[in-house]
Amino acid sequence: MSSSFPPGAKASDAAPVAAASPESEPRSLRLEDWLTVIVMASLALITFANVLVRYFTNSSFAWTEEISVFLMIVLALVAGSAAVARDQHIRIEYFAEGGSALRSKRLAQLGALCVAVLFGLIAVLSVRVVWDDYRFGETSPGIGVPQWWYSIWLPVLATLIAARAVGLLVRRSREALRPETSGEDTQS
């Protein structure tokens, strides 16, 4: 199995681009990692149980689809939070990495600010949805449990993503304040 590199690139150029080792990441990122593991394991167990029941009885559990959809939404939000915290969220590399270093830093700051504002708004507006679900006694269509049991997680996880984006913005701002070292020796 061979790895391919872009024209003009060498294998030694790929080393700095490699992902950070788990030891160098902040401990706070373990929250998202463990939540991802728990949600994925739950999804696998629920789906496997449903397959077994369907195979042996020709019917299925009614609640599995509702719980699976909920867990997939939670998984997407938790993974989004981890991606923002690790600065691996979606961006257009042509703009983000092209141009001067200052431009790249400013675009990274703008991206982090936009993510923080977007998910902050989602968190604030989804609180109203949760309140309405609670106030009007909405129930889920499959199981009949209170709908706010599901909808309460949207403002919680959107707040987590907004907080991760603010942390990324702070890190990017601190990087922008540090003086660039050009490799020249300065005399003191």
Residue 149 carries which side chain, given as an amino acid letter?
A: W
Q: What is the rounded CA–CA span in Å between residue 179 and residue 97? A: 20
Residue 16 domain flag: no
Number of structural domains in the chain: 1
Instruction: Please tell me the predicted confidence (pLDDT) of residue 5.
Output: 42
Q: What is the rounded CA–CA span in Å between residue 60 and residue 65? A: 10
Q: Are 116 and 166 in contact (CB under 8 A)?
A: yes
Mean pLDDT, each 10-residue run in order, the chain (188 residues): 44 42 64 92 92 87 87 94 85 75 85 94 96 95 91 96 93 72 47
Between helix 63-85 and helix 153-177 the angle, nearest 10°, is: 10
Residue 45 domain flag: yes
Instruction: Please tell me the predicted confidence (pLDDT) of residue 72.
Output: 95
Full domain range(s) for residue 57: 29-177
Q: What is the rounded CA–CA span in Å between residue 38 and residue 42? A: 6
